[in-house]
Chain A
Amino acid sequence: MNLTGLGFVLLFAGLILAFIVLGRRRGARPAAFRPLEALQSLPTTVGEAVETGRRLHISLGTGTIGQTDTAAALAGLTVLDQISEVTVVSDKPPVVTASDGAVMLLAQDTLQHVYSRQNAQERYDPTSARVAGLSPLSFGAAVTTMITDDSLAGTVLVGSVGSEAVLLAEAGHRANITTLAGSLDPAAQALLFAAADYPLIGEDLFAGGAYIGRHPGHIASLRAQDIMRLLIGLAILGGALLKTLGILP
């Protein structure tokens, strides 16, 4: 019986709900978030894609659904939803790549919804969301060839990727297109930090929904995250203090 864990979850959930409610309140003081360069640059990339009439490449990484990296894939789907809203209206719909069948299916759903929201179902092409490769490396390698084949205008990578992300970034750099990339795996973040034009570091990966779409739920959860962050900080300090005082073994 892990009450601490349960309590943590309940508190977190409660905070999210609370912030959602607070956010809905009329005249609620709207949330403001610190500048986050990578995410705020997205419109540029998207705009370039739309204007150059090329396709935007949105990669959900090699993550899967139903496992611990589910969160990363979901974050990617959120971003996909936001971006495709804009790009769908271009005659060149975005290319979405994943490495897992389930993620790919969810991506197709997302695209389909966006299209139907834009009353453009007829232009929805299921293969615009595809599995590039079933192993991380084959995924990365496949994408390097896609960049020229599908004449991509930019790559937005939000998901869980490993070192193969470097292939993607390098290919993007060679094709002289913008690469915005973030990964669940900090080790990959480090590589992307060096290789990508716009690296998404740490949990910024999950901030997309709040920053791009300003989705109330996402804003609320970001605020909740901040609260939990403070709590964790206090816990660490407290723990260290107790340790120092010898109270904690």
Chain B
Amino acid sequence: MAVIRCQACGKPNPDFLDVCQYCDARLKPLEAGPAPEAAPAGDVIRCQACGKPNPAFTEVCQFCDSPLKPQLFGFGETTSAEAGDQIRCQSCGRLNPPFAEACQYCEARLRPLQEIAGDETAGATAAPEPPGSPGGGPESGAQPGMEWMRRLSTEPSAEPDWMWTGAAGEEPEPAAAPSEETPDWMRPFGGEQPAQPAEPPGSPEGGPAMPDWMSSLGGEPTRMETAAPAEEVPDWLRSFGEPPSQPTPSAPAPSRDIPEWLRPPESSEAEAAAPLGETPDWLSTPAQPEAAPPAEEVLDWMRSSGGAPAQPAEAAPPGSPEGGPAFGAEPTSAAEMPDWLSALGGAPAQPEAALPAEEVPDWMRSSGGAPAEPVETAPPGSPEGGPAFGAEPTSAAEMPDWLSALGGAPAQPAEAAPAFGAEPTPAAEMPDWLSALGGAPAQPAEAAPAFGAEPTPAAEMPDWLSALGGAPADVGGFETRPEAAPADETPDWLRSMGISAPTEPVGAPPEAAEAAPDWLSGLGAPRFAAPAEPTSPFGAFTEIPAEAAPAAGEMPDWLSSLQPATPPEVPGAPEPAPASSLFGAMPSPFAAEETPTPLVPPAATAGLALGEMPTWLQSMRPVDVQPSRVPPEVDNYEEKVGILAGMRGVLQAEPAIAKPHKSEVPVQKLEVSEAEAAQATLLAGVLKAEAEEARPVSKRRLQIALPVERWLVFAALALAVIFPWFFAAGFFPAPTTIARETNAAFELVEGLPTDKPVLVAFDYDPAQRGELDPAAQAVIFHLMRRGVSLAGVSTHPAGAGVGQDIFNELALGLKNAYGVSYTYGVNYINLGYIPGGPVGLLQFATNPRSLFNTDFSGAMRVWDAQSAPEMSPVYGLSDFSLIVLVSSTPDAIRAWIEQTQSFAAAAPVVAVVSAGADPLVRPYYEANPPQIKGMVTGIVGAAQYEQRAGLPGGGPASNRWDAIGGGVLAAVILIIAGNLLGALARMTVLRARKR
């Protein structure tokens, strides 16, 4: 690289510079001199992307810009806390980065679990504080929603700084992330090496080619729970997609997740927010410790990984019952969760609230889609899957697609490629990575077009692509040569999947939401499905639906398919009954999650099923189960190893099976996509509504209603203004009470010496004449009547024209009304436009004569006593007897006061301001000593002034009084009504969600 990116400002610098030419930040850490290796091992972090050593304090690899340390969304404290010496693996003796829990070389655990627990919770920092905590207020409440939204919107490693900036620390990388990493991300896909990500990691250039995304991923192990879908993808990808050459990143990621399951006690301490009452519950069932960290998300993905409780359930029947209450209690502990949960889950109850209903089962179904296959022992290799999903036009097409990709890949990768081509632009991102997915395993070449085709998506997309492109490739590699991965490798990636997959639904953005969990679980499921079949738990799942069947109308068809697949597992059956009762009371996405697991009451499944098409259960079950269930098993290697090993063995079979099943239910596919779209929007809406304060609940719904509503409101307003003004003149009597400031202005004008001219500043646009003219006219007319000579200026280009108009108008009116002739140049003049706003004002204030030679028309020499005698005494602002500021914005007033105050000490200031500016100008009036001696505010002030000055026949303001009155009243009524209704609507919605 001839260019070094400044880690502080992200700008590129020639590599011979030691200091950033833009921000003077050091570019090359001193340690990393010519011979980096020389640096003491203690201070060195080895970049997982390029393998080069970096000084321990650097957050970013100075060679490849990839993060070296986990960024907890910028929670530098925790981050910096982790920056320590490297850890030497006891088993293989090699050095590992300080944050790694498992040896990157031999997978051996590096630290006792407690430590990890600590990090675990730390890892959850990005999650918002539980609503219970005081002072968090709306802002903090707003977090979770925004976080996952944010994930969607920014490339994963840019994330830390998108996150609220809480201490990303000075670690420059995240700070400059967007500027910095985007290019990096792009580079691989920008076309320089499009095919690269898809290349099997084993291949020579594959390893080196990937540094960017690999490293970036490698950097974030601690982020697992809170990480964005994009985040996780890489992690788990790495975890199982790890090319033997570089297993490093994989280790930390998974191991980070597991510990806490292993060690309930820590987790309970860790969770500051969750009611202590629950903790026992958590502990009781191995699955639940996931929920321990206070972080919302953890809760979320725990919930989403609802399958989890299931496994323990089968594994240890006694455990699950407590599991139930634990979850039941959850809502109370996390205030916002229940709402959207109920929204999701409650939906099935009320069909018209269908969206939620559909989505919950949907994403499950989708996510479950792949694993379902094994259950349905369908003829492997049936081609439909590929094309069917490829043709999928809807925006939510990803789900089926990835499936097709997944399925298609092993059998006929050709299928997968077309699928993305067929993809509509909205979903453009997905197809691409899909292509990666599908293409990679079969022939890496496939993926290349996908990237090439990818125009210039969000910075994030590329890494998705790469990640996914890489992933399947790895998978392939993995499957082809199992020996590549150590025996306990499997648990790792299984685990990582177990977590990452569930996380998506909560953490994922509308579109991405489906995609992430789906393919995640999909990928995950395959691996398990085959082995799972034989094992008892799996049987249990397939079994339960059988019981649910009677309740669920559509169930039968798939049930039939299921029954054969399920041998024993009657023991699993009793479970549901007790558990279900608990879960019934519980947020139903949870319940929904459960559905695949035996825990779900038949009723619940039925409800869900009703919202959906029959096959959803089967498809969903394995997926959801797999990821979540895996972890617990994984946790304790001893017991479960048997199963895992079994699973691993069956891996190859799965993908082949996966495809056919999909192909058989094209209908389902359709609904899936549609439903997923629904889910995406709704989940987004609901989460936002819960989490964010200032975000429309869901714009989509408003869309329909608003135009009509808008028209009604507009019509009402128009009528309210026109009617009284037209038909009921005098309905609103002119004001009798004169405001203090208005009176002050009047008195000031009244007592003004007539020997000096008055400066009138017309700082408003012709557009504002409607409001300000009446006020200005009232004051100016009063001045004219007192025979004061006037000079007009304006800091607003169009204002001078306005001044000209008003002057001429009033001069004419004066002539007509009083026969007093007011002549231009003698009694009044319009100096014109003061350019440069305040800057010009300053110049004008310091020396008016330097600014103006001629008047506004450019024809009259202003300072020449013949042409403009009135101006001859004027040398500075103090030579005016009064300064009248007519302005629509407080800025203009402020500018005048700021710039001219020191020069116009002698001349008092009267402000004629728009009602909108009043509160901000008032401080100058209220100030002590007042910077403004009198104010006339808007149309009301004008009317008052007219009354006070007793203008003949009332002024323009008085004439509009009725229209104003009608309009204001209508506005008040509408605003009150609208907000009452709105508030009520919100409440009902909230209550509905709660229920």
Q: Which residues of A contact B (CB under 8 A)?
A: 23-38, 40-48, 50-53, 64, 66-69, 82, 85-86, 89-91, 114, 117-119, 134-137, 160, 162-163, 173, 176, 184-188, 190-191, 197-199, 210-217, 219
Contact = CB atoms under 8 A, between A and B. Distances in A.
A37 B693 contact: yes
Given A67-B895, A216-B23, 9 more contacts: A24-B25, A35-B139, A35-B140, A44-B153, A90-B458, A117-B179, A134-B797, A135-B765, A197-B695
Contacts of A43: 149-150, 153-154, 162
A185 B891 contact: yes
Contacts of A188: 889
Contacts of A89: 182, 186, 456-459
Contacts of B470: none
Given A43-B153, A86-B154, A118 B458 contact: no
Contacts of B456: 89-91
Interface stretch (B333-341, B424-432, B519-527): B424-432
Contacts of A217: 23
Chain B CB within 10 Å — which of A33, A35, A190, A215 has the most? A35
Contacts of B162: 40, 42-43, 212
Contacts of A135: 765, 797-798
Contact of B142 (A33, A35, A48, A184): A35
B895 A68 contact: yes
B140 to A, nearest CB: 6
Given A26-B57, A136-B765, A119 B165 contact: no
Contact of B695 (A187, A198, A213): A198
B837 A187 contact: no
Contacts of A35: 139-140, 142-143, 164
Contact of A33 (B158, B165, B455, B836): B165
B453 to A, nearest CB: 12
A30 B164 contact: no
Contacts of B873: none
Contact of A211 (B10, B142, B165, B455): B165
B457 A37 contact: no
Given A33-B164, A34-B139, A135-B797, A213 B80 contact: no
Interface in B55-79: 57, 74-77, 79
A33 B74 CA distance: 11
Contacts of A186: 890, 920
Using C-beta atoms within 8 Å of the partner chain, give the interface range for chain B: 35 or more
Interface string B77-121: 101100100000000000000000000000000000000000000
12 contacts: A24-B8, A29-B169, A40-B146, A43-B150, A53-B426, A86-B158, A135-B797, A163-B916, A213-B179, A214-B161, A214-B174, A216-B172
B178 to A, nearest CB: 4
Interface in B859-904: 888-891, 894-895, 898
B76 A30 contact: yes
A37 B139 contact: yes
Nearest to B899: A68
Contacts of B165: 31-33, 210-211, 214, 219
Contact of B889 (A28, A45, A185, A212): A185
A47 B797 CA distance: 39
Interface string B740-767: 0000000000000000000000000101
Given A89-B459, A117-B11, A66 B150 contact: no
A164 B138 CA distance: 29
Contacts of B699: 176
Given A187-B919, A199-B694, A216 B170 contact: yes
7 nearest A-B pairs in the assembled complex, by CB-CB distance: A47-B153, A30-B169, A30-B76, A214-B175, A35-B139, A30-B167, A85-B178
A41 B696 CA distance: 12
A59 B676 CA distance: 34
Chain B CB within 10 Å — which of A114, A173, A185 has the most? A185
A137 B766 CA distance: 10
A211 B164 contact: yes
B917 A50 contact: no
A30 B168 contact: yes
A90 B457 contact: yes
B166 A32 contact: yes
Chain B CB within 10 Å — which of A40, A210, A217 has the most? A40
Contacts of B155: 86
A40 B164 CA distance: 6
A94 B898 CA distance: 36
B449 interface: no
Given A51-B458, A89-B458, A91-B456, A24 B837 contact: no
A29 B76 contact: yes
B152 interface: yes
Nearest to A2: B902
Contacts of A199: 694
Contacts of A53: 425-426, 428
A46 B429 CA distance: 15
A32 B167 contact: yes
Contacts of B83: 27
Interface in B157-197: 158, 161-172, 174-176, 178-179, 182-183, 186, 190
Nearest to B152: A47
Nearest to A68: B838
Contacts of B455: 91
A120 B357 CA distance: 45
A68 B895 CA distance: 8
B18 to A, nearest CB: 14
A28 B425 CA distance: 45
Contacts of A137: 765, 767
Contacts of B916: 163, 187, 190-191
A19 to B, nearest CB: 11
A215 B121 CA distance: 28
A46 B154 contact: yes
A29 B170 CA distance: 8
